[in-house]
Amino acid sequence: MEKDIEIPAVGPTLWKYRLAAKLSQEEFGARLGYEMANYVFCLEIGTRKPSVELLFKIVKALDVKASEFITSMEESL
């Protein structure tokens, strides 16, 4: 039986980049196509985990490379 692979928390990295971009949760949620900031909040506190597709939408909305975002996630471990 395979064990689940623990994925580094996206939340702290998302929060850091969102603040650097000077975006509120509402503004960032709108860039992702969500009407309410609640989903962004859930991503940032770790109660939701993004799919690979959403992760690419996130980095596009933040105007950063996926590799940069993931490297930042790894460095926060």
- How many whole angstroms separate alpha carbon 28 and alpha carbon 4? 30
DSSP 47: S
What Rg, from alpha-carbon coordinates, does the chain have? Answer: 12
Q: Which fold has domain 11-75?
A: 434 Repressor (Amino-terminal Domain) (1.10.260)
- How many whole angstroms separate alpha carbon 3 and alpha carbon 54? 24
Predicted pLDDT of residue 4 = 54
- How many whole angstroms separate alpha carbon 56 and alpha carbon 67? 10
pLDDT tens-digit series, residues 9-68:
789 999 999 999 999 999 999 999 988 788 999 999 988 888 999 999 999 999 999 999
CB contact set of 33 (below 8 Å; sequence gap of 6+):
57
Predicted pLDDT of residue 53 = 93
